[in-house]
Chains A and B, each alone.
Chain A
Amino acid sequence: MTTSYYEPQDLERFAEIGKDAPELARKFFDYYGAVFAEGELTGREKALIALAVAHAIQCPYCIDAYTTSCLEKGSNLGEMTEAVHVANAIRGGASLVHGIQMRKAAEKLSL
Chain B
Amino acid sequence: MDQQSNRQPQAFPEPGIDDFGATLAKHGLTLTRASSRALQINVGLLCDLACRHCHLEAGPSRHEVMTRETMAEVIAYAGRARFEQIDITGGAPELVPHIEWLLTELAPLAPRVLFRTNLSALGRPESRALVEVLRQQRCVIVASFPSCNTGQAESQRGIDYMGKGVATLKMLNQLGFGVDGNNLELDLVVNPTGAFLPPAQCQTEQKFRQDLLRKHGIVFSHLYTFANVPLGRFRHWLESSGNLENYLKKLAGSFNPATVQGLMCRSLVSVSWDGYLFDCDFNLAIGQPLEGRKRHVAEMAGHPPIGIPIPTGDYCYACTAGSGFT
Q: Is B241 an interface residue, CB under 8 A from the partner?
A: no
Residues of B within 8 A of A43 (CB): 203
**B67 interface residue (CB < 8 Å to A):** no
B149 adjacent to A44 (CB under 8 Å):
no
Provide the residues of chain A in CB contact with B196, threshold 8 Å. Answer: 68, 71-72
- A38's closest neighbor in chain B, by CB? B203
0/1 string, B123-161, CB within 8 A of A gives 1:
000000000000000000000000111011000000000
Judge whether A72 and B199 touch: CB under 8 Å: yes
Are B199 and A73 in contact, CB atoms less than 8 angstroms apart? yes
Flag if B147 contacts A76 (CB, 8 Å). Answer: yes
Contact yes or no, A71 B148, CB < 8 A: no
Whether, in the assembled complex, B285 has its beta carbon less than 8 Å from a beta carbon of chain A, the answer is: no
B197 within 8 A of A: yes
Residue A39 lies at the interface, judged by CB distance under 8 Å to chain B: no
Provide the residues of chain A in CB contact with B151, threshold 8 Å. 77-78
Q: How far apart are the CA atoms of A72 and B204 in the complex, in Å?
A: 10
Q: Kindly provide the distance from the CB of A96 to the nearest chain B CB, expressed in whole angstroms.
A: 31
Q: How large is the interface on A (under 10, 10 to 19, 20 to 34, 35 or more residues)?
A: 10 to 19
Q: Which one of B149, B197, B203 contacts A76 once the chains associate, using CB atoms below 8 Å? A: B149
CA distance A77 to B150 in the complex (A): 9
Give the CA-CA distance A64 to B200 in the complex, in Å.
20
Cα-based distance from A72 to B196 in the complex (angstroms): 6
Q: Are B152 and A74 in contact, CB atoms less than 8 angstroms apart? A: no
Kindly list chain B residues whose C-beta atoms are within 8 Å of the C-beta of A78.
Answer: 149, 151
Q: Could you say which interface size class chain B belongs to?
A: 10 to 19
Tell me if B192 counts as interface (CB < 8 A to partner A).
yes
Interface string of A51-93 (1 = CB under 8 A from B): 0000000000000000010011110111100000000000000
Chain B nearest Cβ from A86, distance in angstroms: 17
Most buried by A among B152, B192, B207: B207
**From residue A39, how far is it (CB to closest CB) to chain B in Å?**
14
Knowing A71-B192, A74-B204, say if A44 contacts B199 (CB, 8 Å): yes
- Are the C-beta atoms of A77 and B152 separated by less than 8 Å? yes
- Whether A74 pairs with B207 at a CB distance below 8 angstroms is yes
Do A72 and B197 touch across chains, with their CB atoms under 8 A apart?
yes
* CB–CB A74/B149 < 8 A: no
| B203 close to A73 (CB less than 8 A) | yes
A42-B203, A44-B203 known; A72-B198 Cβ under 8 A: yes
A43 to B198 alpha-carbon distance, docked (Å): 14
Cβ of B194 and Cβ of A71 under 8 Å apart?
yes
Partner of B203, one of A68, A74, A77, A79: A74
- Residues in chain B near residue A42, CB distance under 8 A: 203
* A79 to B199 alpha-carbon distance, docked (Å): 15
Q: Say whether A77 contacts B199, CB under 8 Å.
A: no
- Find chain B residues with CB under 8 A from A76 CB: 147-149, 152
Tell me the minimal C-beta distance from B276 to chain A in angstroms: 36
Interface centre among A68, A71, A72, A74 (most CB of B within 10 A): A74
Using a CB–CB cutoff of 8 Å, the interface residues on chain B facing chain A are 147-149, 151-152, 192, 194, 196-200, 203-204, 207
For the A-B complex with A43-B203, A72-B198, A77-B152 known, give 11 more contacts whose Cβ atoms are closer than 8 Å: A44-B199, A71-B194, A72-B192, A72-B197, A73-B200, A73-B203, A74-B199, A76-B147, A77-B149, A77-B151, A78-B151
In the complex, the 3 A-B pairs of residues with the closest C-beta atoms, listed nearest first: A74-B199, A76-B149, A71-B196
Chain A residues close to B by CB (< 8 Å): 42-44, 68, 71-74, 76-79
